[in-house]
Amino acid sequence: MSLNKTLVDMDYLLNEAPREKHFITGAQAMAEAVKRASVDMAIAYPITPQSEVMHLVGDIYAQGHIKEYYRAEEELGTMSAIAGAARAGVRLFTATSGPGLLRGLEAIVSWPGHRVPCVLGILTRVVNAPLSIQPDNIEMAYMLHCGAVMLHAENQQDTFDYTLAAFAITEKVDVYIPVAVATEGFFVTHAKGYVNMMDEKYAYKEVDPYEAPVPAMDNEVPPARIQRDAPVQKSNFMSYLIHSVWQQEIWDSNRRAMKYIYQYLGGPIEVINPDADVFILASGCAAAQAREANRYAEEEGLSVGLIKVKAIRPFPKQEIRDALKNAKSVIIPEHNIIGWLASEVKSSIDNSGIVVDGPRVYGGMTLPVELIMTEIYTALGMETETLQA
């Protein structure tokens, strides 16, 4: 490549390389991260609101930052091709949204078990039907149980940092499962925000396909007869046992990712005002609104804490349990109807009675700060005028 990049490790790239402030969209932020990640190959398939990301990644490819790029036939084809290319030992990126994620899900949920390291952008959108292209992160609920590492970005800056960090985390020998970086469609992807970025001459060091817990299937690594993906063809106890320990290994790998989330992202949660009685806990775009509510509350002289959850998988059970051990109430605003984050929190803490289920918006609605404020007033025992959602 004639772009003359300075290849560095992820610690330097994220924490030391000098940065400059830019005003860009979330889609641009994700693509800018890809540009600095020495990605070998990206595979695209359109779906709103993701398309913008892969358009920009296509431009980056045309500029020579990525070696290979193509538009696949549909998402199952995309995700399958990622799995094929990963076995050949290259660094990979793709992104999708809502229905596209579900179409590709058969392949995606097999990535962890097949030890496919790659970064998947999830730019959330309602799952049809009725048809809609609007933001709603219910699709993330479908991803929770496949073993992939999942990060949830609050804004454009997070989208940039998490995507970059994801490339390092996914290739760690003791992790080596895919990392999904999710953020809300439109609210983040199509809105501009300030993003501090290092110069594009800096790029993450290139992938070493042999620094891996499984052999690359490139005819360069023993054993000669590789079959990485043991199809368990027999109905006997040993076959069940290999499958069960294999599944354990995927979740162990997921668990091991936590130390890298500390290393690169400063931990899986961010806590503001840790001594408060009432907390707002949120991830992704809802965390931005929660942050706003936290500021409102502060202006009104109310003591309200904020917990932003950055990592959805591995889920920071212990960290959340510690942060909430003295809390009297925790309000969990979400951009989906089922409240997957609230369920996760409830199953993580001993005092699950403190969880306020909501407020929730979905179908593309924005999350007015007032909805969160109403819950804060209720939690604090204050009289309120209710805002009808």
Partner 1 sequence: MSLRYMIPASKFKRYLPKDYVELVDYGPFGKKYSEVGVKNMGAYKELVEEHPMCSGCWMAYYIKIIFASLPNPENTVTIGTAGCGRLAISQAAVPFVYGNYGDQNAMASGMTRAFRLRFPDIQKDVITIAGDGGMMDIGFSMTMHAWFRREKFTTIMLDNETYGNTGGQESGMSMEGAVLKMSPKGKNFGKLPAMQLAITAGCVYVVKMSPTNINKASKAIRRAIFAARNLGPTFIHAYTSCNIEYSIPTPDVFADAKEKEKGRFAFEEYMTPEAKELFAQIESKTKREVS
Partner 2 sequence: MSKIIEVGPVGYMPQSAPSMGVELSPEGQALLYGNIVSEEEAMRDAAKALLTMDNPTIFPGPQVLWDWKDDVAEKSAAILEMASEIPNCKIIPMPDYRPKYPKIDVKAEINPNHPNLTILDNRIKACVFIGVHCHYANLTLRMIRAGTDCYTVAMCAMMGHEEAMASIRDVHASDVLKFRDIIIEVRNELGIEHTPTMPPENPSLPEEDWGSLTPADYGEYRSLIMSRKGEHVADVE
**Site residues for partner 2 per CB under 8 A:** 115, 173-174, 176, 211-215, 220-228, 230-234, 238-239, 241-242, 244-246, 248-249, 251-252, 255-256, 259
Helix, strand, or coil (residue 271): strand
The owner of tokens 């390291």 is: 117
Footprint (CB under 8 A) of partner 1, residues 110-169: 110, 114
Q: Mention every residue, 6+ apart, whose C-beta is less than 8 A from residue 112.
A: 146, 147, 148, 177, 178, 250, 253, 254
Q: Shortest approach of partner 1 to residue 330 CB, angstroms?
A: 39
CB 33 within 8 Å of CB 153: no
Work out whether 37 is an interface residue with partner 1 (CB under 8 A).
Answer: no
Q: Which of 227, 235, 236, 388 binds partner 1 (CB under 8 A)?
A: 227
Interacting partner of 232 out of partner 1, partner 2, none (Cβ under 5 to 8 A depending on kind): partner 2
| Residue of the chain from 233, 235, 236, 388 that contacts partner 1 (CB under 8 A) | 233
Q: Cis peptide before 209, with omega less than 30 degrees from 0?
A: no
Q: How far is CA 15 from CA 150, 161, 196, in A?
A: 21, 10, 11
Q: DSSP readout, 49-76?
A: TTHHHHHHHHHHHHTTSSSEEEE-SSHH
The single-letter DSSP state of residue 126 is P
Task: Return the C-alpha torsion angle 32, 287, 168, 222, nearest 10.
Answer: -120
Query: How far apart are CB 61 and partner 1 at their closest, in Å?
Result: 12
Q: Are strands 202-204 and 6-8 parallel, antiparallel or unpaired?
A: parallel
Query: Which range, of 220-228, 260-268, 319-327, 370-378, touches partner 1 by CB under 8 A?
Result: 220-228
Part of the chain binding partner 1 (CB under 8 A), chosen from 40-48, 52-60, 186-194, 336-344: 40-48
Give 133 or 221: the residue with its C-beta nearer to partner 2.
Answer: 221
Residue 211, contacted partner among partner 2, partner 1, none, CB below 5-8 A by kind: partner 2
Judged by CB under 8 A, the stretch of 46-54, 127-135, 211-219, 256-264 that binds partner 1 is 211-219
Closest CA to 205 of 1, 4, 5, 2: 5
Using CA atoms in the order 281, 283, 289, 295, what is the torsion angle rounded to 10 degrees? 50
What whole-number distance in Å separates Cα of residue 29 and Cα of residue 283? 18
Residues touching partner 1, count (CB under 8 A): 42
User: With binding defined as CB under 8 A, does residue 205 bind partner 1?
Assistant: no
- Binding site partner of 214, from partner 2, partner 1, none, Cβ cut-off 5-8 A by kind: partner 2
Strand order in the sheet with 311-313: 68-71, 41-44, 92-96, 119-124, 179-184, 149-152, 311-313
- Residue 87 makes contact with partner 1 by CB under 8 A: yes
Q: Taking CB under 8 A as the rule, does residue 226 contact partner 1?
A: yes
Q: Residue 295 Cβ, how far from partner 2 at the closest point, in Å?
A: 38
Binding partner of 249, given partner 1, partner 2, none, CB within 5-8 angstroms per partner class: partner 2
Helix/strand/coil for 169: helix
Q: Which of 221, 272, 337, 380 binds partner 1 (CB under 8 A)?
A: 221
Q: What is the chain's length? A: 389
**Shortest separation between residue 98's beta carbon and partner 1, angstroms:** 20
Residues at the interface with partner 1 (CB under 8 A): 40-41, 43, 67-68, 70, 72-74, 76-78, 80-90, 106-107, 110, 114, 209, 217-222, 224-229, 231, 233
